[in-house]
Amino acid sequence: MRPHHILLLLLITLTTCQAPKETPTLLITNAKIWTANPTQPYAEAMAIANDKILAIGTSEDIREYAAAQEVDAKGRFIVPGFIDSHVHLMTGGRSLLSVDLRDAASREEFSRRVGVFAETMQADEWMLEGNWDHTLWGGELPHRDWIDAVTKDVPVLLFRLDWHTALANTAALEFAGINERTPDVEGGTIERDKNGKLTGILKDNAMNLVMDKMPPMSPEQKDKSFRAAMDYFLSNGVTTVHDVDGLNGDFESYSTAEAYRRSGDLQVRIYAATPLHEWQQLTQRKDENDEWLKTGCLKGFVDGSLGSHTAAFHDHYTDKADDKGFFIHPKDDLYKWISEADKANLHVMVHAIGDSANHTLLDIYERVIRENGERDRRFRIEHAQHLAPSDIPRFAQLGVLPSMQPYHAIDDGRWAEKYIGTERIQTTYAFHSLEKSKAMMTFGSDWAVAPASPIMGIYAAVTRRTLDDKNSGGWVPSQKISVEKALTAYTKNAAYASFDEDIKGTLEKGKLADFVILSENLFEIAPEKIKDVQVLRTYVGGELVFEKTNK
């Protein structure tokens, strides 16, 4: 055989052996895509192969591909799948199936709703959740007398929407063995009236006196709650959640999520947290982490909440002299748990609300970094709500991520000034100050404390218009941020906050095809109209998992 024949045969062989070009399973065309990728911020079309993005760019770039299915987006706005960096998945799902007190605006309405729901319950069931807000009826905390007559033998434990205060009826108190002689617990309060009688109000660690004795959720209850939560997330365009109760006793969702993963029914990606003080248990787990479900993070608490007067401040509450809130755990315990967990290369995220709590936690993080050495640890402060001005630059300096929930700003903004005064609210939910200092903010909802709606979160961060419509120019308007910054906090930054920036958070070649089609372009409408934007379709891994129907 002549040399040129050999060369020709070799070329033919190489050509035939080349891997065939991957064929897309889905094309998205005629779209306005915001990618969250700074090197290619916008696109018109995407080619998706199975669960990942094969190509993204102009319509001409994608024209060479053919797919089994093509979706004409009709010029709609597309963003990466929203990542909610802070949810209570199982308790939130359970709240969807329980009595709803979030907008009950009077004692009478509170009692009526509880009574109506009690009539639907089985004899051995507990009434839980509720998510009430006492500021709606003037600020008086509810009393067990409000519900005893309508609940009778049904044990009731109804949480304030921040989950740091609960109302127990007499049946629940008696079940837990709580009476007038029961002493307060460290990091918690059992409320009593002026005669020493129990009101039914339990704060922070005192709630555990009842919760630790409640019957556990049945597998059926967990399944219903999990399914309700998953459907709710998808309807809001949320494709990934960081579940801070993921491996937390009776509220843990991990085992249910694992069963859904095995059956192929899991449609929301989950980063599941373990309680900080149980960090050693996490080192012994052998979970099969993948793109759907993973562990590795720890959630702890420093203090309580502003609405419950349990957030820890340097100075006393404006409306309550000699009250500075309190720490749920001693500082020495927090340091020990965080340091040891960090040595085990676990990811630490800790709740801090008041300025004293945030300052103390930043000090602990700084000490642990100094003692354990530099590494890519991505410490998080969950909420980071009320900050001393001098602490704001420390987030970027230490590489600590403020994991914040913008909806709280337009909710708490109705009454926060009464609690902490004019000066301290200037750096409450300090989105702009943190962004200006180069801190990497990540956003979430704290669901079921607030709605798991990134659209409402973006609206809150951009407008800061309180829910009562009394701050049309924004509550502390100097702390507003742009639509792009808010979107980034719900996508790219949120993926970074769980060490997932290589697989999601932006729409680019090789990453997971998680994306949302919205009814309006968030960059083109007036900021006050953002709250009206609807999620039309949600895709996870290239699969349509939610579509809004016109009713």
DSSP secondary structure letters along 519-537: SS-TTTS-GGGGGG--EEE
pLDDT digit string, tens, across residues 361-403: 999 999 999 999 999 999 999 999 999 999 999 999 999 999 9
Three-class secondary structure of residue 472 per DSSP: coil
Non-local (6+) Cβ contacts of 518 within 8 A are 76, 77, 78, 79, 237, 455, 533, 534, 535, 536
**Per-residue tokens: 9:** 């045969």
The CATH number fitting domain 21-75+506-551, selected from 3.40.47.10, 3.30.750.24, 1.10.3720.10, 2.30.40.10: 2.30.40.10
Q: What pLDDT is attached to residue 7?
A: 44
Q: What pLDDT is attached to residue 184?
A: 87
**Per-residue tokens: 546:** 């939610």
Q: What pLDDT is attached to residue 251?
A: 84
Q: What's the rounded mean pLDDT across residues 277-292?
A: 93
Please determine, for residue 273, whether its predicted confidence score (pLDDT) is greater than 50.
yes
Please determine, for residue 12, whether its predicted confidence score (pLDDT) is greater than 80.
no
How far apart (Å, rounded) are the C-alpha atoms in residues 49 and 67? 9
Please determine, for residue 41, whether its predicted confidence score (pLDDT) is greater than 50.
yes
* % the chain with pLDDT above 90: 86
Burial of 401 (0-12, 13-18, 19+ CB in 10 A): buried
Cβ of 494: how many Cβ atoms within 10 Å?
Answer: 32
Three-class secondary structure of residue 166 per DSSP: strand
How far apart (Å, rounded) are the C-alpha atoms in residues 245 and 226? 12
Under 8 Å between Cβ of 58 and 44 = yes
Task: Report whether CATH 3.20.20.140 matches the domain 302-481.
Answer: yes
pLDDT digit string, tens, across residues 415-449: 999 999 999 999 999 999 999 999 999 999 999 99
Range in 28-37, 246-255, 523-532 the model is least confident about: 246-255
Residue-range domain boundaries for the chain: 21-75+506-551, 89-211, 302-481
Q: What pLDDT is attached to residue 224?
A: 94
Q: Give the relative orientation of helices 355-372 and 331-343 as an angle to the nearest 10 degrees.
A: 40
* % the chain with pLDDT above 70: 96
How far apart (Å, rounded) are the C-alpha atoms in residues 154 and 389? 48
Beta strand pairing status for 52-57 and 45-49? antiparallel
Q: What pLDDT is attached to residue 305?
A: 93
Distances from the Cα of 56 to the Cα of 76, 326, 518, angstroms: 16, 51, 18
Which residue shows structure tokens 């010029």? 75
Reported confidence tier of residue 55, pLDDT bands at 50, 70, 90: very high
Q: What pLDDT is attached to residue 21?
A: 62
Phi-psi label, residue 178: left if phi above 0, alpha if psi -120 to 50, beta otherwise: beta
* Average pLDDT taken over every residue of the chain: 93
Buried b / exposed e over 335-350, threshold 16 CB at 10 Å, is bebbbebbeeebbbbb
Reported confidence tier of residue 17, pLDDT bands at 50, 70, 90: very low
Please determine, for residue 1, whether its predicted confidence score (pLDDT) is greater than 70.
no
Under 8 Å between Cβ of 107 and 132 = no
Q: What pLDDT is attached to residue 217?
A: 86
Beta strand pairing status for 188-192 and 198-204? antiparallel
Please determine, for residue 10, whether its predicted confidence score (pLDDT) is greater than 80.
no
Q: What's the rounded mean pLDDT across residues 51-67?
A: 93
Please determine, for residue 58, whether its predicted confidence score (pLDDT) is greater than 90.
yes
Please determine, for residue 36, whether its predicted confidence score (pLDDT) is greater than 50.
yes
Chain centroid to Cα 294, Å, comes to: 16
Reported confidence tier of residue 162, pLDDT bands at 50, 70, 90: confident
Q: What pLDDT is attached to residue 8?
A: 43
Return the C-alpha torsion angle 328, 331, 335, 337, nearest 10: -30
Q: Which CATH number describes the domain made up of 89-211? A: 3.10.310.70
Whether residue 448 is preceded by a cis peptide bond, meaning omega within 30 degrees of 0, is yes
Quote the radius of gyration of the chain (alpha carbons, Å): 25
Reported confidence tier of residue 550, pLDDT bands at 50, 70, 90: confident
Q: What pLDDT is attached to residue 342?
A: 98
Chain centroid to Cα 329, Å, comes to: 22
pLDDT digit string, tens, across residues 105-119: 999 999 999 999 999
Phi/psi at 185 (5° precision)? -105, 155
The highest-confidence range among 89-98, 155-164, 479-488, by mean pLDDT, is 479-488
Beta strand pairing status for 401-404 and 380-383? parallel
Under 8 Å between Cβ of 49 and 22 = yes
Q: What pLDDT is attached to residue 122?
A: 82
Q: What's the rounded mean pLDDT across residues 465-486?
A: 96
Cβ of 507: how many Cβ atoms within 10 Å?
Answer: 26
The candidate with the shortest Cα–Cα distance to 54, out of 291, 72, 43, is: 43
Q: What's the rounded mean pLDDT across residues 278-282?
A: 95
Q: What pLDDT is attached to residue 407?
A: 97
Angle, CA of 411, 416 and 421, to the nearest 5°? 160
Q: What's the rounded mean pLDDT across residues 467-484?
A: 96
**Per-residue tokens: 346:** 């676990």
Phi/psi at 463 (5° precision)? -105, -35
Q: What pLDDT is attached to residue 2?
A: 53
Q: What pLDDT is attached to residue 74?
A: 96
Under 8 Å between Cβ of 45 and 26 = no
Q: What pLDDT is attached to residue 312?
A: 97
